Amino acid sequence: MARSEDPLSRREFNRLLAFSALGLAAAAPQVLAASPLTRGIFELRLLTADPEAQRRFYDRTLGLPAVREGTEQVAVQAGGTRLIFQQARPEHGRPMYHFAFNIPENKLELARQWLHQRTPVIVKDGREVFHYPSWNAESVYFYDPAGNIVEFIARYNLANATPGPFSQEEILYASEIGLVVDDLEREVAALRSRLGLGVYRPGSPDLVPVGDEHRLLIVVQRGRKWFQTTPATVYPTVAKLAGGPPAHYQVAGFPYELSLT
């Protein structure tokens, strides 16, 4: 998650249209289909330099169903979200993103302990848990093999507490994806006009959260750093958000395809 108080800190889209399609004509039949969602990001398509490393991590380390779909695509079922990693081309280098998953609002500490048994948790200034008062939320972060900054976030405004220990089944759905732009004000206005998504909470000169607690586009200025360490960089992104009315937006000058359904 990226927020105003957060410690985290134009190429033509048509040239990357093949990414949006993800080469489905050549791919094997899809094995994992996202569960019906009435909220959240139900499909998120990203690039990666090593799809197989992603598959092993999400499947073996986190225990999320992850399968190969064709030779260049891996699909992960993360709660209600279908998370797709597509093979990056050499010109993309090693793509890196920031995205977040909602977890039950009473499971943050249990999720931190669960992660410790599987993968290192990001530590900054001696802390592993980060509290965001204006969001009434707390988060823990970790890296996947691609270097993506992945977040588990407990949002205390949501009545989604569950009993028992934390498990991979408590990963509810993806609720955030970072979008790097050159003109923050213009893009925030375009998201309101094209998708009907307003500002969630007051942001900062280089970050504005757009949407709601179930589906947030974290719009940041190019040059900002995620977690004050990793530069926020433009990479192709396709995000399908639950909730209507249906709308579609290809961000002008950027390889981002966004839709509501």
Of the candidates 136, 134, 124, 149, which has an alpha carbon nearest to the alpha carbon of residue 203?
134
Residue 26 lies in a domain: no
pLDDT in tens, 106-150: 999 999 999 999 999 999 999 999 999 999 999 999 999 999 999
7 part of a folded domain? no
pTM of this structure: 0.86
Residue 64 predicted with pLDDT over 50? yes
Residue-by-residue DSSP string for 101-152: EEE-TT-HHHHHHHHHTTSPPP-BTTBS-EEEGGGTEEEEEEE-TT--EEEE
Average pLDDT score over residue span 200-208: 92
Asked if the structure places residue 1 within a domain, the reply is no
Q: For residue 253, what is the DSSP state?
A: T
The answer to whether 84 and 43 are in contact (CB under 8 A) is yes
pLDDT band at 37 (very low <50, low <70, confident <90, very high): low
With cut-offs at 50, 70 and 90, classify the pLDDT of residue 62. very high
The angle subtended at Cα 115 by Cα 113 and Cα 119, nearest 5°, is: 135
| DSSP symbol at 212 | E
23 part of a folded domain: no
Domain count, the chain: 1
Looking at per-residue confidence, does 227 or 179 come out higher? 179
Question: What pLDDT, in 10s, does the model give residues 79-109?
Answer: 999 999 999 999 999 999 999 999 999 999 9
The reply to whether 38 falls in a domain is yes
170 lies in some domain: yes
